[in-house]
Chain A
């Protein structure tokens, strides 16, 4: 016979049976006892041991189940505490399992939450709108071509211009406007621009208070004001405009970008005056 006595089928079967019999022991104790029994067999047997000799040694060792019972009694471990197969994971203990469960629950909640939030519909441009300053409103022109509407006012370089639109929140989530995304939403170039949201509802948008960040509650309208100082240099007959708002929005705890198509294009037209003269 080559190898060691541990390779003998009788020994292998015994150790396998022992392995399962020790399932109720703590892992470290089971491993230690297995090592002791293995060393015992390795020492007591030789590669040339006969089947009878091996059987006798195994018989004197005692049945694995009895050995396990003895070990359980010595270790003070109560049966039913777990199985060997699950012991690797049961090592966590109840605190570990609790922590793991809480972690998984939190992670699952976050994932579901983010999925919900990201699937929430964006704000919509609905209802009335207008140029913010009466001076622009008085000079505004309106046109419609190919189903697209647009309004235009003369550009006033270096001066404050603005518009106001009504945004509707069609969702059940409060959506908070944090600011503009990727620079200005102003028609044409602007040296600075600022977007704010009416803190309340009302039809006369110029009399409302505006702030940012500000929220649009579920299924409600709010005026949104965009003010800017233009530095657009336009020649006579040329124009620049914008027909969408790119906003940073917070829904719940998640921030995202919403690109909101406007109901009409907002344009400033040349010629530019002031610093462009």
Chain B
């Protein structure tokens, strides 16, 4: 059974693409992102981790942020996806589909003692 630390690392690894995916739909402000992510059970270990992640994504050029100060509303910093972010998200989706299928396969066959390598060999 994976340890809590292992799950945390797993969450950390997929949280970025999840943020990109949420921003793909529309720009969002910080708390909005946090709540959307929190709605996905088990994805967030703590709300605060989203902000360092957003800053890292922005440094990487995958998201941008800008303040919006609309009348009647409080000023908010909105995050939106860049083209590089879209490309990165698309690449992750492709890799994730393959990766998760591989992991699923390994996990499922692990019960019967068949490794992924053996499975590949059979397919060839």
Residues of A participating in the B interface, judged by any CB pair closer than 8 Å: 29, 32-33, 36-37, 39-40, 42-44, 57, 60-62, 66-67, 70-71, 73-75
Contact = CB atoms under 8 A, between A and B. Distances in A.
A67 B74 contact: no
Given A40-B30, A44-B31, A33 B46 contact: no
Given A32-B55, A36-B54, A74-B56, A43 B49 contact: no
Contact of B52 (A43, A60, A71): A71
B20 to A, nearest CB: 15
A66 B34 contact: no
Q: Is the interface of A mostly helix, strand, loop or mixed?
A: helix
Contacts, number: 64
24 contacts: A29-B55, A33-B52, A36-B54, A36-B77, A40-B30, A40-B34, A43-B29, A43-B76, A60-B46, A61-B46, A62-B45, A62-B46, A62-B48, A66-B46, A66-B48, A66-B49, A67-B49, A67-B51, A67-B52, A70-B53, A71-B55, A74-B52, A74-B56, A75-B52
B66 interface: no
Interface string B65-106: 000000000101100000000000000000000000000000
Nearest to A33: B51
Contact of A43 (B31, B48, B53, B55): B31
Nearest to A60: B47
A33 B30 CA distance: 11
A149 to B, nearest CB: 86
B70 to A, nearest CB: 14
B74 to A, nearest CB: 7
Listed residue (B38, B54, B55, B77) with the most chain A CB atoms within 10 angstroms of its CB: B55
Contacts of A40: 30-31, 34, 47-48, 51
Contacts of A75: 52, 55-56
Give 8 nearest A-B pairs by CB, closest first. A62-B46, A74-B56, A71-B52, A74-B52, A61-B48, A62-B48, A36-B51, A67-B48
Contacts of B49: 62, 66-67, 70
B86 to A, nearest CB: 21
A36 B46 contact: no
Contacts of A60: 38, 46-47
Contacts of A32: 55
Contacts of A39: 30-31, 76-77
A42 B46 contact: no
A42 B77 CA distance: 13
A139 to B, nearest CB: 94
Contacts of B48: 37, 40, 61-62, 66-67, 70
B51 A37 contact: yes
B46 to A, nearest CB: 3
Nearest to B32: A43
B53 A74 contact: yes
A61 B38 CA distance: 11
B51 A42 contact: no
Contacts of B77: 36, 39
